[in-house]
Chain A
Amino acid sequence: QLQLQESGPGLVKPSETLSLICTVSGGSISTTDHYWGWIRQPPGKGLEWIGSISFDGSTIYSPSLKSRITISVDSSKNQFSLKLSSMTAADTAVYYCADWNTSSGWFDPWGQGTLVTVSS
Chain B
Amino acid sequence: DIQMTQSPSSVSASVGDRVTITCRASQGISSFLVWYQQKSGKAPKLLIYDASTLHSGVPSRFSGSGYGTDFTLTINSLQPEDFATYYCQQANSFPLTFGQGTRLEI
Contacts of B95 in A (CB 8 A): 49, 62-64
If over half of B's interface residues share one DSSP class (helix, strand or loop), that class is named, otherwise mixed; here it is: loop
Could you tell me if B96 and A108 are in contact, using CB atoms closer than 8 angstroms? no
Q: Can you name the residue of chain A whose Cβ is closest to the Cβ of B4?
A: A46
Residues of B within 8 A of A64 (CB): 95
Residue of B nearest to A97 (CB): B43
Question: Contact partner of A47 among B55, B89, B92, CB < 8 A?
Answer: B89
Q: Indicate the size class of the contact surface on chain A.
A: 20 to 34
A34 to B91, CA, bound (A): 16
Q: Which 4 A-B pairs have the closest CB atoms?
A: A105-B91, A108-B46, A110-B43, A49-B96
Contacting residues, chain B, for A108 (C-beta < 8 A): 45-46, 55
Q: Contact: A105 with B49, CB < 8 Å?
A: yes
Does B97 touch A at the CB level, under 8 Å?
Answer: yes
Cα of A106 to Cα of B53 in the assembled complex, Å: 11
Given contacts A47-B98, A105-B32, A105-B91, 13 further A-B contacts (CB under 8 A): A46-B87, A46-B99, A47-B44, A49-B89, A62-B94, A98-B43, A104-B91, A105-B90, A106-B49, A106-B55, A106-B89, A110-B45, A111-B43
